[in-house]
Structures are given as structure tokens and as C-alpha cells.
């Protein structure tokens, strides 16, 4: 049970009497009191021998082993002393309910901790970056652009529908032109391609057929094998293999010079293969493709410090102690350590004292379309926010 401090034995005994837990099993009552960060919880469970109680109840005590939590313990201890920050602007349209991006947030956290940086996420509503907002709510427009320009890196996550698309295009353009580290995921990759076609190739009406079915320059098209009449079960889902067609690229190096990677997908639209040659001749590089070579999976801008877009969702395979390679790249580039990390390997041996990794506390600012900004009071991820409109913003 959660509390501010560990329970005394007499309290446990009372709880066992009134909660249908026999007195002889009072050791099954575990205290999960408040801790600096959530990664302390497994250590609390271990210290109170919760694993032994579970194994005993399941008659598995004979196969019990001592928990191997050395790396986890080191990571947890380091988390409490992170001071240097990295600020990432998350440009999306669901910022009023940021649980929509929880997997992305966790992946950012895993990567920032691996680079020993305290994560600051600036939530920027994509619509707030658009010209229409400048006319209707200039203060909101100004605040959104200040957040974007003040970030060390920019991330455009996945999404559906045309709301906020122009704002995401503006964010990708700002990142490209100002050499700000950028990662586009799924729709974020498609946005980067559309922006490049418009700004560099001069194709002003370049678009996705999802947003403009009649565009004369369809950079992004519906999957050939998909159905536009049946929405259920028509997405390209699950783990798919991506082959690196350019081995000397940032993405391949971040994946350990692998020849291919398996990542999870969730999309209906993709880059138009008929426009790839035109885009690559202008400077883009589609470094990762599927087995057919016609489905674009990873795009990079070689002349940029870190400008990467992926059709898949790398955040789905990120976990503590093993952060996503591309999220690591974004954070490392945002900290100015990408070249060192790519050259020598994992950042934990380069940017730290070698004591392991940690899941640091993050200061999270939430910028909503109504212009309100909410900041955590204690810098912890274990808080619940409210934007005043009844929408809870949760971090665990």
C-alpha cells in the first residue's frame, strides 16, 4: 500500500486482521512509500522480500534465486543526482491529453537518462504554430514559437488527420533550416518529406493524399495493398524488417552498424516511391527500405547534424537500460555528443563515471492550445496534472 513512510510491524498486524490476511502472513503486506523516482519501487519490493512471499505462496520457493538488481540499483541511484538538462519540443495535436504520447515520452526518458541528462519536455500544440493562430490568438502563437525555438531538439510524433499538419510542417522546416536535431516518427517522417518537397523542390502543393487527395505532387500515398473503404484491419502493423541501403549513415551507426533492424509499424500511408529519385537528387537520403526496396522506412538529411524520419515506431521497443537507438541519437545530438557516441558506442561509458544508467526525474511543461502552461511542482514523473478543462495529464 502507498504511504509517506514505511509501516510499523504493529500497523501491518492490524491491517492483516482487517483485510482478510491471516496474522501469520503479515509479511505479505508490503509498503510502497513515496520515493524520489519510480525506479526505487522494485528495490523496495526486494528489500521487503516480496519476491520470497510470492514464490512461497506459489510453492516455488525451491527454485528461488537472489534477485540480480545490480545494474538497476546503480541506475536508480544516479537518477537522483542528474542536473544537466536536455530540452525537447514535442510538436503534436494531442497535447491536451499527453497520455497519447506516453510511449514516446518514456523512450525520450530512457535515452536522456542514458546520456545522463534531466529531461525537459516542452509540449507544443502543432496548431499553435500556424498562421491562423497568429491572427486569432497572437499570444498563444508567440508562446508556442518561443517554446519551439528554445528547445535543444524537436520531435514530431505520429498521428492521424489533417489538424495541426501545417504547424508540424513549420516545425520540421525550422529544424531543417536551423540545424536543430529532429526526429519524425510515422506521420512525422511524412511531414519532413512534404516540407522538403515544398521548400527545396519548390513543389508548393506537395502533400499527402490523406490530406489532399487531388494534389498534383503526392509525396505520401495510401499503401497500394490497403483498402480505403474498409477501415478495420487495413493498417500495416507489427514488426517489419528494414534494410539499410546506405551503411555509412547516422541511423545504421546508431543501430551498431547493423545491416537491418526489426521495428514495429502502425500506418496506412507511406512515401510515394515514384518521387524518391527527385527527393534524393535534391539532398534527402532514404537510407532504410523494406525488402522490396520500394517502401521507404528511414530518411536522413546528410548535411544536417541530426535530421531523421522513420515510418516505424521505435518508441515501442525502448525500455530501461536499453533505450531506442534513434531516440538516443536525438538526445545525444541535442546535447552535442552525437559524434562521440557514434564513434565510441553507448553514451554511458562516455558521458558518465561508469556507474550505470538512471531514470532521472523530469521537469515537464505542458503547453496547451489554450495557451496555458502547467509545470510540475517537484520535478517528479510520479504526478498527475490537470489543465483546468478536466483532462488529466499523467506521468508514471
CA 41 to chain centre: 23
Q: What angle do CA 364, 368, 370 make, to 5 degrees?
A: 145
The three three-digit cell numbers of residue 284, written as one number = 534527402
The catalytic position among 115, 186, 249, 335 is: 186
**Could you tell me the CA-to-CA distances from 81 to 8, 305, 396 in Å, in that order?**
30, 29, 19
Residue closest to 42 by CA, chosen among 63, 9, 72: 72
Half-sphere exposure (Cβ direction) of 264: Cα atoms closer than 13 Å: 10
What stretches of the chain show up as alpha helix (H) in DSSP?
9-18, 41-47, 50-57, 70-79, 102-114, 131-136, 138-149, 165-177, 187-199, 250-254, 276-281, 325-335, 338-344
- How far apart are the C-alpha atoms of 65 and 67, rounded to whole Å? 6
The catalytic position among 313, 335, 367, 368 is: 313
Strands 182-185 and 207-208: unpaired
Asked if 72 contacts 42 with a C-beta cutoff of 8 angstroms, the reply is yes
The catalytic position among 315, 335, 367, 368 is: 315
- How far apart are the C-alpha atoms of 269 and 290, rounded to whole Å? 15
- How far apart are the C-alpha atoms of 147 and 65, rounded to whole Å? 49
Q: What angle do CA 64, 68, 74 make, to 5 degrees?
A: 155
**315 flagged as catalytic:** yes
Asked if 194 contacts 184 with a C-beta cutoff of 8 angstroms, the reply is no
Q: For residue 342, which phi and psi values (nearest 5 degrees)?
A: -65, -35
DSSP single-letter state for residue 345: -
Burial class (CB in 10 A: 0-12, 13-18, 19+), 70: exposed
> What Rg value do the Cα atoms of the chain yield, rounded?
24
Residue closest to 251 by CA, chosen among 165, 319, 338, 321: 338
User: Which sequence positions are flagged as catalytic?
Assistant: 186, 313, 315
Amino acid at each position: 500500500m502507498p504511504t509517506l513512510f514505511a509501516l510499523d510491524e504493529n500497523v501491518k498486524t492490524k491491517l492483516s486482521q482487517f483485510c482478510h490476511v491471516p496474522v501469520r502472513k503479515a509479511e505479505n503486506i508490503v509498503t510502497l512509500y513515496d520515493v524520489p523516482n519510480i525506479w526505487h519501487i522494485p528495490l523496495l519490493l526486494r528489500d521487503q522480500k516480496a519476491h520470497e512471499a510470492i514464490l512461497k505462496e506459489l510453492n516455488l520457493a525451491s527454485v528461488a534465486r537472489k534477485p540480480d538488481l545490480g545494474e538497476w540499483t546503480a541506475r536508480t541511484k544516479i537518477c537522483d543526482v542528474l542536473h544537466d538538462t536536455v530540452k525537447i519540443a514535442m510538436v503534436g495535436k494531442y497535447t491536451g491529453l499527453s497520455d497519447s504520447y506516453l510511449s514516446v515520452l518514456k523512450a525520450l526518458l530512457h535515452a536522456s537518462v542514458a546520456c545522463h541528462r534531466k529531461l525537459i519536455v516542452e509540449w507544443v500544440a502543432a496548431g499553435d504554430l500556424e498562421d491562423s493562430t497568429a491572427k486569432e490568438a497572437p499570444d498563444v502563437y508567440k508562446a508556442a514559437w518561443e517554446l519551439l525555438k528554445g528547445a535543444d531538439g524537436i520531435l514530431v510524433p505520429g498521428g492521424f488527420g489533417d489538424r495541426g499538419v501545417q504547424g508540424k510542417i513549420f516545425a520540421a522546416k525550422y529544424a531543417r533550416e536551423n540545424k536543430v536535431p529532429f526526429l519524425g516518427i510515422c506521420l512525422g517522417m511524412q511531414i519532413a518529406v512534404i516540407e522538403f518537397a515544398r521548400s527545396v523542390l519548390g513543389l508548393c502543393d506537395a502533400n499527402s493524399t490523406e490530406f489532399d487527395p487531388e494534389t498534383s505532387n503526392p509525396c505520401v500515398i495510401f499503401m497500394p495493398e490497403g483498402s480505403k473503404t474498409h477501415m478495420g484491419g487495413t493498417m500495416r502493423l507489427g514488426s517489419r524488417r528494414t534494410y539499410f541501403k546506405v551503411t555509412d549513415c547516422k541511423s545504421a551507426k546508431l543501430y551498431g552498424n547493423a545491416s537491418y533492424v526489426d521495428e514495429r509499424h502502425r500506418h496506412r500511408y507511406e512515401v510515394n516511391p515514384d518521387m524518391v529519385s527527385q527527393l534524393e537528387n535534391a539532398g534527402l537520403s532514404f537510407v532504410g527500405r523494406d525488402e522490396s526496396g520500394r517502401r521507404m522506412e528511414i530518411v536522413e538529411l546528410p548535411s544536417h547534424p541530426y535530421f531523421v524520419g522513420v515510418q516505424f515506431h521505435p518508441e515501442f521497443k525502448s525500455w530501461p537500460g536499453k533505450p531506442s537507438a534513434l531516440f538516443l541519437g536525438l538526445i545525444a545530438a541535442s546535447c552535442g555528443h552525437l559524434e562521440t557516441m557514434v564513434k565510441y558506442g553507448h553514451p554511458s561509458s562516455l558521458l558518465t563515471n561508469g556507474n550505470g544508467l538512471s531514470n532521472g526525474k523530469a521537469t515537464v511543461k505542458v503547453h496547451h492550445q489554450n495557451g496555458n502552461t502547467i509545470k510540475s511542482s517537484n520535478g517528479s514523473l510520479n504526478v498527475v496534472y490537470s489543465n483546468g478543462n478536466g483532462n488529466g495529464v499523467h506521468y508514471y
